[in-house]
Amino acid sequence: MKLSPVKIGGYTTENNLFLAPLAGYTNYPFRKLCKQSGAGLCFTEMVSAKGLKYGSENTKELLYTDEKEGLVAAQIFGREPDTMRFACEHEALAPFPIVDINMGCPVPKIYKNGEGSALLLEPDLAEKIVKECVKSEKTVTVKMRIGLDENHLVSAEFAKKMAGAGAALITVHGRTRDKIYAGEVNYKEIEKIKRAVDIPVVANGGVFGVEEGEKLMQETGADGIMIARAALFDPQIFCDFTGNPRRNLYDFFAEQADETLVLYGEKFATVFMRKMAAFYVKGMRGAAAYKERLFAAKSVEEAKAIAKEIWQD
């Protein structure tokens, strides 16, 4: 696919290849390595606006960044316009010039609270949320789905409302809420959104390699693509699009582990890197045995030692 910058409000990305916000995974060390591999813009994990309002320390930890990371976007979720604006103006979001509003999460506990993809049912409320967040003077973007199910597609009309309310970019997951993360991506509905608005549209869903990425761009006319689950299994997937050289997987893993340890401590880093290693070994011969050993690791160093056997020997 053709790589090109994307203008989002007053900001311009390095290219049109984005890393999706992935709950539980897109922390600072992971984003940093994806950026090195060629991601043009990375998003934080989904952060609760209420969590920020009521002083959740865990919520603040999700937003760690530094000046070395460069342009990065924070994603928040909620349904109360004033609380969402409060989150945008919170000091924890000060390093993030771009704030993305989640209107696509299909997870039941989010949906049942009227948040995430539930907002697709309430376009007027969604419009108020965007308008209120724009008052914070952040550059506001929206991540949405095409509808709740095939009988309730909202694509173009919902997107027009978000753009009219002041959204500077829309990312569209080309599946309905009931599909969760499975099933075919509906290219036509993404194309409808692209035709309906005059702001950049980024397409999301079903990209596990360059071929799928190119097809998603060609079929939808989108301005860029967003990679989600594929990055968990292979964070260096961005290299395949950009031509950046791939690194030895052990070196990659060790750098991620060391930085995660420094930022979040031994307990978190050990559990987190065991999960990451399980993604990285998927499809390898002997993957089940490797995963069993990795999940038994009691420290980051032990996990690194096992990883070294797998990828460096």
Two tokens, residue 112: 């049942």
Is 88 an active-site residue?
no
Q: How many CA atoms lie within 13 A of 129 on its CB side?
A: 27
Query: Do 116 and 78 form a contact (C-beta atoms < 8 A)?
Result: no
Q: Measured in whole angstroms, how far is the alpha carbon of residue 45 from the centre of its chain?
A: 7
**What is the DSSP code string of 188-238?**
HHHHHHHHH-SS-EEEESS-SSHHHHHHHHHHH--SEEEE-HHHHH-TTHH
For residues 84 and 263, give the distance between their C-alpha atoms in angstroms, rounded to a whole number: 27
Q: Catalytic: which of 34, 88, 105, 133? A: 105
Strand partners, 204: 173, 226
SS (H, E, C) 127-194: HHHHHHHHCCCCEEEEEEECECCCCCECHHHHHHHHHHHCCCCEEEECCCHHHCCCCCCCHHHHHHHH
CB-CB contact of 15 with 104 (8 Å): no
Residue bearing tokens 């924070």: 74
Is-contact 132 160, C-beta < 8 A?
no
Tell me the CA distances in angstroms from 91 to 55, 77, 82, 88, 294, one per residue in order: 11, 17, 16, 8, 38
Going by C-alpha positions, the residue among 237, 258, 273, 250 that lies closest to residue 25 is 273
The residues that are catalytic are 105
